[in-house]
Structure 1
Amino acid sequence: MNGILGYQWKPDLKFVLTSVLYLSFLFEVICPKLSTHFTGDFFDVLAYVAGGVGYYLFVVKQIHKKASSSAS
């Protein structure tokens, strides 16, 4: 999206953690209360956290590293 729309936005750790918390709360707390098709599972929350950490370490850090090396 940044390349297509010309934005310079880069996700940071706060954005990733907030997204993990939001999705965990939505899919593991709210949705199971609204429908029997959803189940709340602590291991799914761990998977969200692992995915967020992996995304931050392998994608976001690389974006920031490339941006800082091209700026100098």
Structure 2
Amino acid sequence: MPTIKHTPQSIAELEREREQFKRERDELIKDLSNYRRVLKVFARLIKGKLAINASDRYIQYHHMLDDIGINTDELEAD
């Protein structure tokens, strides 16, 4: 099995790359958190609409939200 020897420059480059990946990961987590918050607001709206009018459109949205893990019955806990 070949041994890989890293130079100080290659280690520094790997560390910079690692930090860039961490920043990108953190940005994606933040974006997903914001999207989830928006979906919860939308879910509350759909829940209210369903309480007034159980049209097929709102039921379809309700099912779509369930499919991605936004449960309208558990929104009050958030």
TM-score by length of 1: 0.42
Compare relative contact order (CA 8 Å, sep 6+) and give the higher one, 1 or 2: 1
TM-score by length of 2: 0.39
Answer with 1 or 2: which has the greater Rg. Answer: 2
